[in-house]
Amino acid sequence: MARQSISFTQPNDEWLKSQVDTQEYSSKSELVNDLIRQARNQQIEIDWIKAKLDKAENSGFSNDSKEQILAQAKSIIND
């Protein structure tokens, strides 16, 4: 695992400490890694939505219902 040294603003550091104090996370590193994983997953979802929007704009219409599109988005998030 790569070791990094980073600095936080005081409010962010206090928030990180409070999360560790509630024992939801065992360390600030674990919390920061989890936040990064969540951001990466969100980026995958955003990229998928952008691709769908681009495809829809270029094709004119989609035959998928809003329920089908939502189901597809949820399946990507859960993978």
User: What are 45-61's pLDDT values in tens digits?
Assistant: 999 999 988 888 887 67
DSSP states of 25-50: SSSHHHHHHHHHHHHHHHHHHHHHHH
CA distance 17 to 54: 42
For 19, the token pair is: 């999360």
pTM of the model: 0.63
Q: What percent of the chain has pLDDT over 90?
A: 61
Q: How far apart are CA 3 and CA 41, in angstroms?
A: 22
Q: Measured over all CA atoms, what is the biggest interatomic distance in the chain, rounded to whole angstroms?
A: 52
Q: Which of 11-25, 29-43, 57-71 has the lowest mean pLDDT?
A: 57-71
8 residue type, one letter: F
Q: Is the pLDDT of residue 63 over 90?
A: no
Structure tokens at 53: 């929007």
What's the rounded mean pLDDT across residues 9-37? 95
